[in-house]
Amino acid sequence: MAVAGLIMHLRLVSGRGGSLLAEYYTKDIKKALEAIDKLKAAGFRPNIIKSSASYVVYISTTDLLKLAEEDDAVRRAVALYLAEKAENGTPRQREIAEKILKRHPLFISQHLYYFFKVAIAVSQGCTPSRRGPTSRRSRGADGWTGCWGGRY
Angstrom distance (rounded) from CA 128 to CA 133? 9
pLDDT of residue 24: 95
Angstrom distance (rounded) from CA 102 to CA 91? 16
Count how many residues are written for the chain.
152
User: Regarding beta strands 19-26 and 54-59, do their DSSP bridges make them parallel or antiparallel, or are they unpaired?
Assistant: antiparallel
Are 99 and 92 in contact by the 8 Å Cβ rule? The answer is: no
Q: What secondary structure letter does DSSP report for 150? A: G
Give the CATH number of domain 2-108: 3.10.28
pLDDT of residue 100: 85
Residue 28's contacts (CB-CB under 8 Å, 6 or more residues apart) are: 55
Terminal CA-to-CA distance of the chain, rounded, Å? 32
Angstrom distance (rounded) from CA 115 to CA 106? 15
Burial class for 38, CB neighbours closer than 10 Å (0-12, 13-18, 19+): middle
pLDDT of residue 124: 66
Domain boundaries, the chain: 2-108
pLDDT of residue 5: 87
Are 152 and 98 in contact by the 8 Å Cβ rule? The answer is: no
CB atoms within 10 A of CB 23: 17
Q: What secondary structure letter does DSSP report for 137? A: T
pLDDT of residue 109: 56
pLDDT averaged over 10-residue windows placed end to end, the chain, 152 residues: 89 86 94 95 94 93 88 86 87 88 68 59 61 46 46 39
Angstrom distance (rounded) from CA 87 to CA 65? 22
